[in-house]
């Protein structure tokens, strides 16, 4: 039997890899999809966490090292993986989340699905920092439109220039605490609009179910009413004969021929730790920004001494993550609530997009606000510091006995929280590179991070803190905790912590200062493409998934066209 030569080998099954698989397979290409983690199906009883009660777990949903976001979060992966370390340069504290499952991180994300706006692709024109993308909103808009319709996203058309309209499904109605936030924001002339999330509030096809409002998107949905790469993009391709799915397969490197062209991948079969090879006419790397950089850097050969696609020494550089800060308040108006089911969709129903574009501030990029609160399902941590709010009511904190039951009910659902997510300024010196002396359990050199926030991000966090205080108080809240000061970077999250890392293989027109062209094609190797957030030149204050999907679709179209023209 002749050796199988795939039209495309796709590394990674998250948003980018899933979209590439869907598009290339539907175009008739023979595809190998290589995933380092296990097969995952949220409806499979041995993997299901959706609709489980807290008492089905001995730790009642508490987090573990293996599930950092809690027992029932559908993530398989985390900040630390056994046998797969990463290291830090100097005093860097980059946090690196790796999903290890079919569908990757799309199984447990917040489903916040925001288009980048026209300004987001041309930030250098606005503030002189970083670089412009080689494409603008007009180039990507048709793909956002198609993604909206294929995958489904609820939201509302607001006519905001830099938060573009889309083909939205209707939004869910706000919950009570969100109505308090809406009134507070309006008092301060801060905009507030329905959230934008890839959750089906309305039917878009006959394959997927419509949301039944359990509020558990982070557990992945058994009826596929939310978007996961696996359930929405990959499963439909698995029975057509076009896709060979290889799970538990950890790619070591992309192989090349004497001309420097890619010939396939070498990977480790995690079941038997044997090294194996796949052959392909093209390789699409979508392993997530940092893993993609790692694979490219580890793909060294005589023609690519510095790693694949790295003649510019830009692979791994311009790594950047969203900024974040958060604050919470106690709303006395929400004490002693009537209790009813307000689980709703997973997470917020309303949010505030960036509203100070063009204002003179001591930082340059924007942020949006995500709203939290409500009468969620009790899980580990519920009832901690049970009556701490008594101090705001002039009553004694602490105690024991049946009066604690009254305290529980009295304060249930009386908390309002805000989390900010902002854009950082990409830096040449913020990077991941190969650690010269550390390897993982398969002998593959690991990444070493070197990342520092600039004053822009720190000043932005200070502004976030001021904003959150004003909004929470305007909503009727009594602020909890204390405002973090300069000594704590104003509560700014650690680099990597928001899990929006992008930029490590950025696109551009100049091969000396970028890794890929506008289609994610390596400048150095015509048959290797990047289809994850590595290609982002800048990340906007928007969650990256919708843009990953749109770009991956655009890249897939380009691959199909280039193959037709026999250029690859």
Under the binding rule (CB under 8 A), the answer on residue 215 touching other proteins is yes
Q: How far is the CB of 213 from other proteins (least distance, A)?
A: 4
d(C-alpha 159, C-alpha 34), whole Å = 41
Q: How far is the CB of 373 from other proteins (least distance, A)?
A: 13
Question: Nearest 5°: phi and psi at 312?
Answer: -85, -5
Under the binding rule (CB under 8 A), the answer on residue 565 touching other proteins is no
Cβ–Cβ under 8 Å, residues 116 and 137: yes
Question: How many CA atoms within 13 Å lie on the side-chain side of 362?
Answer: 8
The strand pair at 77-78 and 98-99 is best described as: antiparallel
Under the binding rule (CB under 8 A), the answer on residue 70 touching other proteins is no
Nearer to other proteins, 339 or 439 (CB): 339
Stretch that binds other proteins, among 207-215, 353-361, 363-371, 487-495 (CB under 8 A): 207-215
Stretch that binds other proteins, among 263-271, 304-312, 369-377, 443-451 (CB under 8 A): 369-377
Q: How far is the CB of 540 from other proteins (least distance, A)?
A: 20
Site for other proteins in 35-54 (CB under 8 A): 38, 45-49, 51-54
Element (H, E) at 368: strand 367-373
Q: How far is the CB of 219 from other proteins (least distance, A)?
A: 9
The residues pairing with 415 across neighbouring beta strands, listed in sequence order, are 330
Site for other proteins in 400-459 (CB under 8 A): 400-402, 404-405, 408-409, 412
Nearer to other proteins, 216 or 310 (CB): 216
Q: How far is the CB of 147 from other proteins (least distance, A)?
A: 13
In 3-state terms, what secondary structure has residue 88?
strand
What number of other Cβ atoms are within 10 A of residue 156's Cβ?
15
Under the binding rule (CB under 8 A), the answer on residue 236 touching other proteins is no
Cβ–Cβ under 8 Å, residues 445 and 434: yes
Nearer to other proteins, 8 or 140 (CB): 140
Distances in whole angstroms, Cα of residue 290 to Cα of each of 93, 201, 297, 442, 451: 15, 34, 10, 18, 13
Alpha helices, DSSP H only, in 299-432? 403-411
Site for other proteins in 132-161 (CB under 8 A): 149, 152, 154, 156-157
Task: Compute how many residues bind other proteins; rule: CB under 8 A.
Answer: 93
Q: How far is the CB of 285 from other proteins (least distance, A)?
A: 26
- The C-alpha torsion from 240 through 212 and 19 to 365, rounded to 10°, is 180
Under the binding rule (CB under 8 A), the answer on residue 76 touching other proteins is yes
Nearer to other proteins, 52 or 266 (CB): 52
- The C-alpha torsion from 441 through 445 and 447 to 448, rounded to 10°, is 110
Distances in whole angstroms, Cα of residue 237 to Cα of each of 10, 38, 240, 337: 14, 17, 6, 47
Cβ–Cβ under 8 Å, residues 209 and 445: no
- Per CB under 8 A, the list member of 28, 118, 170, 240 interacting with other proteins is 170
Nearer to other proteins, 205 or 567 (CB): 205
Q: Indicate the DSSP class of residue 567.
A: -
Q: How far is the CB of 547 from other proteins (least distance, A)?
A: 18
In 3-state terms, what secondary structure has residue 6?
strand
Tokens of 499: 């899990």
Nearer to other proteins, 176 or 528 (CB): 176
Q: Indicate the DSSP class of residue 121.
A: G
Under the binding rule (CB under 8 A), the answer on residue 512 touching other proteins is no
Stretch that binds other proteins, among 8-16, 55-63, 248-256, 524-532 (CB under 8 A): 55-63
Cβ–Cβ under 8 Å, residues 112 and 197: yes
Under the binding rule (CB under 8 A), the answer on residue 187 touching other proteins is no
Under the binding rule (CB under 8 A), the answer on residue 66 touching other proteins is yes
Site for other proteins in 250-279 (CB under 8 A): none
- Per CB under 8 A, the list member of 60, 261, 270, 483 interacting with other proteins is 60
The residues pairing with 421 across neighbouring beta strands, listed in sequence order, are 324, 368
Site for other proteins in 456-475 (CB under 8 A): none
- Taking residues 84 to 103 in sequence order and writing x for each that binds other proteins by CB under 8 A, - otherwise, the string is --------------------
- Per CB under 8 A, the list member of 375, 468, 471, 499 interacting with other proteins is 375
Closest-CA residue to 434 (of 86, 98, 94): 86
- The C-alpha torsion from 264 through 266 and 268 to 269, rounded to 10°, is 40
What's the chain's Rg over C-alpha atoms? Answer: 24
- Taking residues 312 to 351 in sequence order and writing x for each that binds other proteins by CB under 8 A, - otherwise, the string is ---------------------x---xxxxxxxxx------
Tokens of 164: 């573009």
Nearer to other proteins, 391 or 512 (CB): 391
Nearer to other proteins, 159 or 443 (CB): 159
- Per CB under 8 A, the list member of 4, 28, 56, 362 interacting with other proteins is 56
- Per CB under 8 A, the list member of 179, 238, 328, 479 interacting with other proteins is 179
| b/e 375-385 (16+ beta carbons within 10 angstroms → b) | bbeebeeeeee
In 3-state terms, what secondary structure has residue 453?
coil
- Per CB under 8 A, the list member of 88, 301, 379, 513 interacting with other proteins is 379
């Amino acid at each position: 039997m002749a050796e199988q030569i795939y039209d495309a080998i796709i590394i990674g099954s998250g948003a980018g890899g899933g979209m590439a698989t869907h598009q290339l397979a539907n175009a008739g290409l023979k595809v190998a999809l290589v995933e380092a983690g296990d097969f995952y199906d949220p409806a499979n009883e041995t993997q299901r966490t959706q609709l489980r009660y807290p008492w089905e777990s001995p730790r009642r949903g508490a987090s573990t090292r293996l599930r950092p976001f809690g027992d029932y979060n559908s993530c398989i992966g985390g900040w630390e993986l056994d046998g797969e370390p990463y290291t830090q340069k100097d005093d860097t504290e980059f946090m690196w989340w790796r999903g290890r499952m079919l569908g990757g991180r799309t199984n447990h994300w917040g489903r916040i699905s925001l288009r980048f706006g026209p300004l987001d692709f041309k930030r250098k024109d606005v503030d002189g920092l970083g670089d412009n993308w080689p494409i603008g909103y007009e180039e990507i808009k048709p793909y956002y439109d198609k993604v909206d319709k294929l995958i489904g996203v609820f939201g509302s058309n607001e006519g905001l220039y830099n938060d573009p309209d889309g083909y939205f499904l209707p939004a869910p109605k706000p919950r009570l605490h969100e109505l308090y936030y809406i009134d507070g924001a309006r008092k301060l002339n801060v905009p507030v609009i329905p959230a934008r999330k890839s959750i089906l509030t309305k039917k878009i096809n006959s394959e997927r179910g419509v949301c039944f409002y359990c509020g558990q998107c982070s557990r992945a949905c058994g009826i596929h009413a939310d978007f996961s790469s696996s359930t929405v993009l990959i499963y439909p391709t698995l029975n057509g004969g076009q896709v060979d799915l290889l799970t538990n397969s950890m790619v070591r490197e992309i192989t090349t021929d004497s001309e420097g062209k890619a010939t396939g991948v070498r990977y480790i079969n995690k079941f038997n730790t044997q090294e194996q090879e796949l052959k392909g006419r093209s390789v699409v790397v979508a392993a997530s920004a940092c893993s993609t950089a790692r694979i490219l850097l580890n793909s060294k050969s005589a023609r690519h001494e510095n790693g694949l696609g790295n003649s510019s020494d830009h692979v791994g550089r311009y790594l950047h993550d969203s900024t974040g800060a958060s604050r919470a308040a106690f709303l006395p108006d929400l004490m002693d609530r009537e209790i009813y089911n307000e689980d709703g969709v997973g997470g917020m129903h309303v949010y505030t997009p960036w509203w100070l574009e063009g204002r003179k501030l001591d930082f340059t990029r924007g942020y949006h606000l995500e709203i939290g609160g409500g009468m969620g399902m009790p899980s580990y941590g519920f009832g901690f510091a049970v009556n701490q709010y008594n101090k705001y009511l002039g009553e004694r904190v602490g105690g024991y006995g049946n009066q604690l039951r009254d305290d529980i009910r009295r304060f249930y659902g009386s908390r309002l929280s805000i989390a900010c997510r902002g854009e950082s300024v990409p830096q040449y010196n913020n990077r991941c590179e190969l650690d010269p002396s550390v390897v993982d359990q398969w002998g593959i050199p690991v990444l070493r991070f070197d990342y520092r926030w600039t004053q822009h991000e720190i000043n932005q966090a200070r502004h976030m803190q001021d904003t959150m205080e004003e909004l929470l108080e305007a909503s009727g809240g009594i602020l909890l905790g204390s405002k973090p000061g300069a000594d704590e970077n104003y509560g700014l999250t650690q680099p990597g912590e928001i899990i929006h890392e992008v930029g490590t293989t950025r696109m551009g027109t100049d091969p000396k200062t970028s890794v890929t062209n506008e289609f994610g094609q390596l400048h150095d190797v015509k048959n290797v493409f990047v289809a994850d957030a590595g290609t982002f030149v800048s990340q906007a204050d928007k969650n990256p998934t919708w843009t990953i999907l749109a770009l991956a679709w655009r890249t897939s179209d380009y691959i199909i066209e280039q193959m037709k023209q026999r250029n690859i």
